[in-house]
Structure 1
Amino acid sequence: MQPGTIAIVLVAALAHAVWNTVSKYKRGDTFLFVWAYTSAATLLCLPLALAALAAGSQTLSWQLAAGAVVSAALHVTYSLTLQSGYDRFDLGVVYPVARGTGPVLTLLFAILLFGERLSAIAILGAVVVVAGIVVVAGNPFRAGARHPFRGVLWGAATGAAIAGYTLWDSLSVTTLHLDPVTYFTGTFLVQSLVLTPFALRRRSRIRFTLLADAGPILTVAVLSPLAYILVLTAMQTAPVALVAPLRESSIVIGSLLAWWLFREAHLARRIVGAVIVLAGIAAISL
């Protein structure tokens, strides 16, 4: 994997860690929160997508429509599962389990379904990254966590959704040759259209959610598409089986942010885990 591609994925990891941290500040309705940041992201990305269409880098086609529809279904599942898990259980359980499960499943299916062939050291690097994530996350069954095993199950369900959309989106930008910005904007647009009728049924709570969560909504609306468009861009030149675990270095960043912002404990363990993750990244770069 080229250094420039690694840099793109690491910037995406930073953006991802920040928006996940911010989403924990959500106070309003979970469904309306997801709907609001999805709709806001659509409005922010739409000018960029229209510019790509005008420039001819992407044309309106059935491939774009089909890709966006399938991706939207997978992303809606992911977003609602993730945010519901955050509502019920500790961030320190759901986030690392989700982000650790996702790349493992992605790597396995990329090899089994796509027939991707990786060097031994690249596979070792991916495994080391996941091992470092486990060290950073610690023991999800530890005393004091709220219903930790259920949190693990929610995290694993989220990880399965992550693997699903990662594989499909990789297929869309590599095999269907869809422009990442236009494609992901279409995905957000479909999500917004699907979620809006259900959001209107909760119209009595829309005002409170928008006012109470304005900051988190705008932050997620900006950083979530930024993070994933960067990942899709990286997938155009690097195997998904390597991009997927590398982007999960966001867990290290998120854990350090949690220690800094929320004064969470176990800093030494997190530093050790960060070093392991960096070792895995170095192996992948070879």
Structure 2
Amino acid sequence: MPFHIVLLILFAALLHASWNALLRGGADRLWSMTVMCLAVAIASTGIAVFLPAPDPASWFYVVLSAVLHVGYNLFLVRSYKVGDLGQTYPISRGSSPILITLFASLFAGETVGPGALLGIALVSGGIISLAFKGRRLAVPSLPYALGTGVFIAAYSVTDGVGARLSGAPLAYTVWMCALWGVLMPMVYVGMRSAKSLFTPRPGFITAFIGGLVSLLAYGIVIYAMSGAPMGAVSALRETSVLFAALIGYFFLGETLTVRKVLACVVIATGTILIG
């Protein structure tokens, strides 16, 4: 994988951890996530009008990915409701590289070399180990965290295939994100009300900025997946848990133990093998 792609993915990982920390720190995470999606929709639509439409072969994937992203949003919000960032985030993000590697092999015919495969396994294993307390995987939101990982794998492979078929990864990204950004507020209004969504409250600006950050982060990832193995890209992106652990420690009052430091070393080793 080209070195500049590795650097771009690591930058996306930092951005990804940042917006997840913003979401975890919010009082009403469903509302915060929906405001983020509104920001994504507005920005994506503004960019899309200046770009050619993706190839028609990719539109099925645009729609499918947008729906999968809504499912991911709902599972992520639910998992954060009962779990802290330092536990929930590693489960959802750590399970996805292995799943993406499997799904990409089944549905996109991708293969990765032994070194990269070992790197992916180290990254996933190191990330998941961050959620352990002692010898137990004590995560109250475990089903939702694992479900989030499945959604991540599903939309990632969908976007990897769709971006390659589109002939224009940037155009694919903004059209998919625009649709996703419209669907999520519709779901929110169905669950609560339009008044609840649009009534001004503290945290709006923070959530809106978080949405823009998430759009940039995922746009980088789709660009990388359009030309590099999806599992390897995902594993590099999931080094965001390193940043999440530090953000959780310095800003959210979560602990940073020797176990977490050792896990970070394993993740870094896997990153080197992939890169």
TM over 0.5: yes
SS of residue in 1 equivalent to 2:141: helix
Q: CA deviation at 1:86?
A: 0.7
The Cα offsets for residues 54-96 of structure 1, whole Å up to 9 and x where unpaired, read as xxxxx35533432221111000000111012112222222211
Q: Is residue 157 from structure 1 mapped to residue 147 from structure 2 by the alignment?
A: yes
Other-structure match for 1:264: 254
* Counterpart Cα distance in 1 of 2:135 and 2:217: 30
For normalisation by structure 1, the TM-score amounts to 0.87
Distance 1:61 1:171, change over 3 A: closer
Q: Post-superposition, which runs of at least 4 consecutive aligned residues in structure 1 deviate over 6 A?
A: none
Q: Is residue 70 from structure 1 mapped to residue 64 from structure 2 by the alignment?
A: yes
The Cα offsets for residues 92-143 of structure 1, whole Å up to 9 and x where unpaired, read as 2221100011111111222233222221111111111112213333339859
Other-structure match for 2:5: 5
* Counterpart Cα distance in 1 of 2:136 and 2:198: 39
Other-structure match for 1:56: none
Q: Does the CA-based 8 Å contact 1:167-1:240 persist in structure 2?
A: yes
Other-structure match for 1:167: 157
Aligned partner letter, 1:158: T
* Unaligned residue ranges in structure 1 (runs of 5+): 54-58
Distance 1:7 1:39, change over 3 A: same
Q: Choose 110-119 or 236-245, whichever is displaced more.
A: 110-119
SS of residue in 1 equivalent to 2:183: helix
Which of the residues 189, 204, 220 maps onto 2:178? 189
The Cα offsets for residues 152-184 of structure 1, whole Å up to 9 and x where unpaired, read as 11110000000100110000112x134233222
Which of the residues 201, 207, 219 maps onto 2:209? 219
Distance 1:131 1:43, change over 3 A: same
Q: CA deviation at 1:195?
A: 3.6
Distance 1:52 1:269, change over 3 A: same
Which of the residues 70, 75, 88 maps onto 1:81? 75
* Counterpart Cα distance in 2 of 1:23 and 1:102: 20
Other-structure match for 1:231: 221
Q: Does the CA-based 8 Å contact 1:259-1:267 persist in structure 2?
A: no
Q: Does the CA-based 8 Å contact 1:93-1:155 persist in structure 2?
A: no
Identity level (%): 27
Query: What's the RMSD between the two structures over aligned residues?
Result: 2.2
Distance 1:284 1:41, change over 3 A: same
Q: CA deviation at 1:149?
A: 4.6
Which of the residues 115, 122, 126 maps onto 1:132? 126
Q: Choose 41-50 or 4-13, whichever is displaced more.
A: 41-50
Q: Is residue 255 from structure 1 mapped to residue 245 from structure 2 by the alignment?
A: yes
For normalisation by structure 2, the TM-score amounts to 0.90
The Cα offsets for residues 196-219 of structure 1, whole Å up to 9 and x where unpaired, read as 4444451332244x4222133123
Other-structure match for 2:100: 106
SS of residue in 2 equivalent to 1:51: coil
Aligned partner letter, 1:251: V
* Counterpart Cα distance in 2 of 1:262 and 1:25: 7
Q: Choose 80-89 or 215-224, whichever is displaced more.
A: 215-224
Distance 1:197 1:257, change over 3 A: closer
Alignment coverage as a number of residue pairs = 273
